Structure 1
Amino acid sequence: MRKQFLFLFLALAVGYTAQSQTRGTKVGYIDMEYILQNVPNYTEASSQLEQKAQKWKQEIETKKIEITKIKDALNAEKALLTKELIEERETEIKFLENEMLEYQQSRFGPRGDLMIQKSLLAKPIQDQVFTAVQDIADAKKYDFIFDKSSDLTMIYAAKRFDISDQVLRVINRTDKREQLTKKQLAAEEAKDNKEDAIDENPAMAERQKILDDKAAAREKLLADRKLEQEQKVKEYEARRQKLLEDRAAKKNGTVSASTPTEASGTTAKTEEKTSSKTAVEDARQKQIDDNAAKLAERKKALEDKRLKILKERDSIKKANELKIKLKQ
């Protein structure tokens, strides 16, 4: 059957190629298993079905254990039983085994509950996939789109022809649009147009990846700077707390002294001057750190504003390019 299908497909492909020599044949493929695994509704329902299957397996295992117990009991009592009683017990065991096999087949057989419910579960998603594939094929002029997970053997398939992510976006886009306002819908459509344009142009996809990497590196640098600034603030607070504790300790020591000498008074004055000098230096350092933090925040705000403007310009430019491309 598969050979006949392949022969028919090749014949159609050759005939279609002869008719479309003026332009290149555009081929794409999807991976249905990948799409199903990334649709939230399907994965949730599939998880519930798996729990049911585990329960059915436990029931089968319980039946097996009960039959084993009956067999062991028969073997232990066989010497004391008559031939008629032994045959009666063996008939009962045979009946229970057949009953267990029938139950197992009804749950896990080719036409069992598990296969039927899996088929019912996947069908709505498959219908959505087929509709999305048809829309993508019409919009982007695909001649052939295959399913990588089907019986049709694919010896090799380049990743650039994989439109599974595009199909997922179409399905998720349809679900989201029911809950979006007009403004959100317009923003989502602009984002979708940008993603579609990237899919059509590998060079643009590479450029977008470079931009995303640069943005990630920039965010990491800003995060590191913020962390460094927070560390400086912590160190300043620790020094300040230590200074206050030292002052309190010295004050307590001075009050408890009954007869301070001139030398101790001179030492106390010297320490007081040193403490005052340290406090001034700490205050100056704190002011410098605060100014540096404000400057960093101002630079970050300006940089974010510049990036936002560039992204908006880039989105408008790409949207215009896409419109021109679609008109052509």
Structure 2
Amino acid sequence: MRFINSVFFICFCAVTSFAQGGLKIAYVDMDYILDNVPEYRQASSQLDSKAQQWRTEIESKQNEIDKLKNELESERPLLTADLIQDLDDEIEYLENQLLEYRNKRFGVSGDFIVQKRQLIQPIQDQVFNAIQEIGDNRDYDFIFENSADALLLFSAKRHDLSEVILKLINRNSRGAKKESSDVLEEIGDYKSVEKAEEEDVKKEEKAQEEEARKNEREVLIDERQRKRDSLRDARQIEFEERRARILKEREEREKERDSIRKARENN
């Protein structure tokens, strides 16, 4: 219910902000940030190795219990009731011990969860501080988290602040004195909302200019084609007229020769 109320609240804020003249949003990918922080990767690798040792111990203890169970089942017909009860009690004790150990290592408040939280918490604090810094610097209305557990169904890459967060974390880890605005300017592939919108407008204008030039070229090509067609038609007409004239002259000469030949024959 709290989540639904939060969603309605965000939607209400979004509608209100749009009505008042625009909404500035961004997001960060926490999984990506953690994967690209060397200190976290190293500590996480050490924790994973330790967790694997715990799993191996749990598996070994479970194998011992399974072995005792199998031995008890195979020897049950040969054992007295008291001995069977003792073995059952021992197995139950070992199972309880194993359950306690499993909860101690991997339970809700177990070592793995606690150490994982302790490992992530400093990075999360740095991310939160960097987000606050960027949000204040760039006047964002909302900055969301886009990770495996987050409910962010679509996010345009131009709104991704993850690289900026990493830059700020690295700056702080080195003790540098650069302001967040300077870090933002140093990141060539980062685009603020305004810059992204400006580039979209420029792209649209460029596309319109290219379309206009294309149309102009097509008109010019059509005009040239019409001129060529007109010239070709004129030449064709001239050729036909000249051919007709030549044929007529040839026909007249033929008639003249026939007349002369007939006159000679009559004489």
Give me the identity figure in percent: 43
2:185 to 188, 193, 206: 193
1:193: Cα distance to partner?
2.6
Distance (Å, rounded) in 2 between the aligned partners of 1:33 and 1:191: 21
Distance (Å, rounded) in 2 between the aligned partners of 1:71 and 1:47: 36
Tell me, what secondary structure is at the counterpart of 1:199? coil
1:150: Cα distance to partner?
7.1
1:174: Cα distance to partner?
1.9
Where do residues 233-248 of structure 1 align in structure 2 (5 Å cutoff)?
none
2:168–2:183 Cα contact (<8 Å) kept:
no
1:14: Cα distance to partner?
3.0
- Are 1:167 and 2:165 an aligned pair? yes
Residue 72 of structure 1 corresponds to 70
1:111: Cα distance to partner?
1.7
- Are 1:13 and 2:20 an aligned pair? no
Distance (Å, rounded) in 2 between the aligned partners of 1:3 and 1:150: 19
Distance (Å, rounded) in 1 between the aligned partners of 2:182 and 2:139: 21
Structure 2 CA distance for partners of 1:198 and 1:162, relative to 1, 3 Å? closer
Distance (Å, rounded) in 2 between the aligned partners of 1:190 and 1:140: 12
Figure out how many residues of one structure are paired with residues of the other and give that number. 194
Residue 32 of structure 1 corresponds to 30
2:65–2:91 Cα contact (<8 Å) kept:
yes
Where do residues 1-328 of structure 1 align in structure 2 (5 Å cutoff)?
1=1, 2-18=3-19, 20-21=20-21, 24-149=22-147, 152-178=150-176, 193-195=185-187, 199-200=191-192, 201=195
1:149: Cα distance to partner?
2.1
Q: Deviations over 1:12-56 (max 9, x none)?
A: 3334444x32xx211100011111111111111111111110010
Distance (Å, rounded) in 2 between the aligned partners of 1:191 and 1:103: 47
Letter in 1 for 2:187: E
Distance (Å, rounded) in 2 between the aligned partners of 1:107 and 1:197: 43
Bigger CA drift: 50-59 or 4-13? 4-13
1:177: Cα distance to partner?
4.0
2:167–2:183 Cα contact (<8 Å) kept:
no
Tell me, what secondary structure is at the counterpart of 1:116? helix
Letter in 2 for 1:76: S
1:57: Cα distance to partner?
0.4
Distance (Å, rounded) in 1 between the aligned partners of 2:191 and 2:175: 21
Letter in 1 for 2:122: P
The answer to which structure, 1 or 2, has the higher relative contact order (CA under 8 A, 6+ apart) is 2
Bigger CA drift: 134-143 or 164-173? 134-143
Tell me, what secondary structure is at the counterpart of 1:145? strand
Which has the greater radius of gyration?
2
Q: Which runs of 5+ in 1 are unaligned?
A: 205-328
1:84: Cα distance to partner?
1.6
1:172: Cα distance to partner?
0.8
1:191: Cα distance to partner?
7.5
1:151: Cα distance to partner?
5.1
Question: TM-score of the superposition, structure 1-length normalised?
Answer: 0.54
Distance (Å, rounded) in 1 between the aligned partners of 2:54 and 2:149: 29
Tell me, what secondary structure is at the counterpart of 2:92? helix
Structure 2 CA distance for partners of 1:176 and 1:122, relative to 1, 3 Å? same
Q: Deviations over 1:211-234 (max 9, x none)?
A: xxxxxxxxxxxxxxxxxxxxxxxx
Letter in 1 for 2:172: T
Question: TM-score of the superposition, structure 2-length normalised?
Answer: 0.66
Distance (Å, rounded) in 1 between the aligned partners of 2:159 and 2:184: 19
